[in-house]
Amino acid sequence: MATSKPQQCLVPYIETQNAPPEVAAAITHLPYRRNIFHLLGHSHGAFPRLMGVYANFFDGTRRILPLLDWQLVVLRISAVLDAEYEWDVNSPVARINGMSEAKLDALKSTAHGGREAVAAEALFTERDRAILNLVDEQLASYNNAEATVEEAKKLLSVEELVEVYIVLGVYVLIARITKALKIDLDGEIPGLEDNLRKVVTGK
């Protein structure tokens, strides 16, 4: 008889029957279970508002960054910070929308190589490099050199540039909490790709 894997997360996951109504509604609105939402739900006041920000990223009519730029930022954060859960959740979104396995591998293999590694990777476009340099500097120093920002401004609109920082802040938060509290991977989710495709593309 198969036994379930013991929970490794350092805190219990909140369940809807024990959650405040606003938190329970935000969780039950989702098409499948993700441990991250049952973890973040413990922050009763912040969670529903954070879910609004999260939903914005999945809405192509409100998100300013192109989808694969958004995922480029998220996956780079996951690779640099070794945030396995965040990578596990987001890499399917990138794959479904056309990011190749080779590029996913490149995001990991260049994660600690600095500007030289980014510049040398042929799979990265000039725009990719500008975004990755912004993200890498931020993760290393919580700041950016003025030259790095000016480089990005040549390829991104002001609105896109600012949204890069918003995405970065939200997903660094997720990386920190999932790593520090040792969240469990979600495991196989039946119908995940179809659900993600519907959420992201509306089809």
In a domain, 126, yes or no: yes
Q: Is residue 52 part of a domain?
A: no
Residue 111 lies in a domain: yes
CATH number of the structural domain spanning residue 196? 1.20.1290.10
Q: Answer whether residue 53 is part of any domain.
A: no
* pLDDT for residue 188: 81
- Dump pLDDT digits (tens) for 40-61: 999 999 999 999 999 899 888 9
- At 182 the pLDDT is 98
* Cα–Cα distance, 75 to 37 (Å, whole number): 19
**Number of Cβ within a 10 Å radius of residue 105:** 12
Question: Which residues make Cβ contacts (< 8 Å) with residue 188, sequence separation at least 6?
Answer: none
In a domain, 32, yes or no: no
- pLDDT above 80: residue 150: yes
Q: What distance in Å separates the CA atoms of residue 197 and residue 21, rounded to the nearest whole number? A: 29
Q: Which of 151, 154, 153, 171 lies closest to 162, judged by CA?
A: 153
The number of folded domains in the chain is: 1
User: Which tokens belong to 194?
Assistant: 């179809």
By the 8 A CB rule, do 75 and 107 touch? yes
* Rounded Cα gap, residues 109 and 43, in angstroms: 35
Residue 20 lies in a domain: no
The answer as to whether 30 is a domain residue is: no
* Residue 150: partners with Cβ closer than 8 Å, 6 or more residues away: none
Domain enclosing residue 73, as ranges:
65-201
| pTM score | 0.91
Residues in the chain, overall count: 203
